[in-house]
A and B are shown apart, each in its own frame.
Chain A
Amino acid sequence: MKRTPLYQAHVDAQGKMVDFGGWEMPLNYGSQIQEHHQVRTDAGMFDVSHMTTVDFKGKQAKVFLQTLIANDVDKLKTPGKALYSCMLNETGGVVDDLIVYYIDDENYRMVINAGTTEKDIAWINAQAQGFDVSVEPKLDLAMIAVQGPNAREKVFAAMPGVEEVAGELKPFNAASLGGLFIARTGYTGEDGFEIMIPEKSAEFTWKMLLEADVKPCGLGARDTLRLEAGMSLYGSEMNDEVSPLEAALTWTVDLNNEDRQFVGREALEKLRDDGVKKTIVGLILEGKGVIRDHQKVVTALGEGEVTSGTFSPTMGKAIALASVPMGTTGSCEIEMRNKLVSAKIVKPPFVRNGKVLV
Chain B
Amino acid sequence: MSEVRDDRKYTETHEWILDNGDGTFTMGVTDHAQALLGDMVFVELPGEGDEASQEDEFCVVESVKAASGVYAPADLEVVEANEALDAEPELVNSSCYDDGWLVKFKADGIDGLMSAEDYTDTLD
Contact = CB atoms under 8 A, between A and B. Distances in A.
Interface in B58-93: 60, 62, 64-67, 90, 93
Contacts of B41: 33, 290, 311
Given A289-B62, A310-B64, A32 B42 contact: no
B39 A31 contact: yes
B42 A311 contact: yes
Contact of A290 (B42, B90, B93): B42
Interface in A196-232: 220, 224
Contacts of B39: 31-33
B44 interface: yes
Interface string A23-59: 0000110011100000000000000000000000000
Nearest to B60: A337
B38 interface: yes
Contacts of A288: 42, 44
Contacts of A310: 64
B44 A33 contact: no
A310 B66 CA distance: 9
Given A289-B44, A289-B62, A337-B60, A28 B67 contact: no
A82 B70 CA distance: 49
A292 B67 contact: yes
A295 to B, nearest CB: 11
B67 A290 contact: yes
Contacts of A290: 41-42, 62, 64, 67
Contacts of A337: 60, 67
A111 to B, nearest CB: 27
Nearest to B69: A337
Interface residues of B, number: 13
Contacts of B65: 220
B66 to A, nearest CB: 8
Contacts of A31: 39, 93
Query: Number of contact residues on A: which range applies?
Result: 10 to 19
Nearest to B62: A290
Contacts of A33: 39, 41, 64, 90
A311 B60 CA distance: 15
Contacts of B62: 289-290, 311
Contacts of A292: 66-67
B64 to A, nearest CB: 5
Interface string A277-318: 000000000001110100000000000000000110000001
Contacts of B67: 289-290, 292, 337
B42 A224 contact: no
A182 B106 CA distance: 62
Interface string A124-150: 000000000000000000000000000
A33 B66 CA distance: 14
B64 A224 contact: yes
A318 B44 CA distance: 14
A311 B44 contact: no
Interface string A7-32: 00000000000000000000110011
B42 A220 contact: no
Q: Give the interface centre of B38, B42, B67, B90 by most chain A CB atoms within 10 Å.
A: B38
B44 A220 contact: no
B60 A220 contact: no
A33 to B, nearest CB: 4
A88 B112 CA distance: 57
Given A33-B41, A33-B90, 4 more contacts: A33-B64, A288-B42, A292-B67, A311-B62
Query: Which 9 pairs show the lowest CB-CB distances between chains A and B?
Result: A311-B41, A33-B39, A290-B62, A32-B39, A32-B64, A31-B39, A311-B64, A288-B42, A32-B38
Interface of A: 27-28, 31-33, 220, 224, 288-290, 292, 310-311, 318, 337
Interface of B: 38-39, 41-42, 44, 60, 62, 64-67, 90, 93
12 contacts: A28-B38, A32-B64, A33-B64, A220-B64, A220-B65, A288-B42, A288-B44, A289-B42, A289-B44, A292-B66, A311-B41, A337-B67
